[in-house]
Amino acid sequence: MNAALQLAGLPSSGTAPILTVEAARKVFGGLVAVNDLSFDVLPGELIGLIGPNGSGKTTMLNLISGALKPTAGTISLDDRRISGAPPHVIARSGIARTFQLVRVLPSLTVEENVIAGAVFGHMRLWGGDAKDFAHSLLARVGLVGRADMPTTALTYIDQKRLELARALAGDPRVLLLDEWLAGLNPSELQIGIELIGALREEGRTIVMVEHVMDAIRSLCDRCVVMNTGTKIAEGAVGDVLSDPEVIRAYLGDSDA
């Protein structure tokens, strides 16, 4: 589509954002989990959504994917409002995600798990086409030759790979990764970072909630930092991580 534009490096300031979050707010009873958060994601960008535990990152991702409906605010994909729509409508409009606690479909085979991502989205693949596409994605994430296995035979990182393949199977316009790198050992982490890096190279737009600082530094174009539901910083990774307020949020007052 606009791969040429996406591969031309960092998007210029004139590019229209693909995903817009405007004053998104989510309240659970008396708790404001996401407090009027706004940010834009440009096509081909990899945005890191970071912040201390409990700062509302996953809730923000849930608002985008439709798992939760915002209390107020607007989220748009390509100028089309998606906030408030049910998750299947949002998925079909081109947003795919992985989950913080990996969610594979246990009674389906590895291959079927991937096909699940391609059948109901805008691809609407079925039969042989869906199988071929699933096999190419399994190769893409490093699961060659595992197609007919039960998911119970997969290791943790392979389950994560499988979940990523399922998300990619929908050919999403925006891919949401919720701590996809969490729980991996150092060598797996390196593989994981390379895989996400390769996705960015091919022009995927990605929003990634992450705690692994190595990954954030090496992968993200920009970061949005959250603390107790509020955006406290946004910008290039190096700038954001040296921001005194961000350091205070992570480490407490005395270290700032």
Name the residues that contact other proteins, by CB under 8 A.
Answer: 65-67, 86-88, 91-92, 96-97, 99, 103, 105-108, 112, 115-117, 119-121, 126-127, 150, 152-153, 166, 170
Helix, strand and coil content of the chain, in percent to the nearest 5, comes to 40, 25, 35
Nearest distance, CB of residue 139 and other proteins, angstroms: 20
Residues 6+ apart with CB under 8 A from 75: 19, 20, 21, 22, 24, 63, 64, 81, 82, 83
Comparison of 163 and 243: residue with beta carbon closer to other proteins: 163
- Using DSSP, state whether 2 is helix, strand or coil: coil
Nearest distance, CB of residue 56 and other proteins, angstroms: 19
- 251: buried, middle or exposed (CB in 10 Å: 19+, 13-18, 0-12)? exposed
Comparison of 12 and 107: residue with beta carbon closer to other proteins: 107
Comparison of 118 and 240: residue with beta carbon closer to other proteins: 118
Nearest distance, CB of residue 97 and other proteins, angstroms: 6
Nearest distance, CB of residue 182 and other proteins, angstroms: 18
What secondary structure letter does DSSP report for 193?
A: H
CA distance 238 to 250: 15
Nearest distance, CB of residue 160 and other proteins, angstroms: 14
Comparison of 86 and 235: residue with beta carbon closer to other proteins: 86
Comparison of 99 and 221: residue with beta carbon closer to other proteins: 99
For the chain, how far is it from start to end, CA to CA, in angstroms?
45
Please report how the helices 110-119 and 156-169 are oriented relative to each other, as an axis angle in degrees rounded to 10. Answer: 30
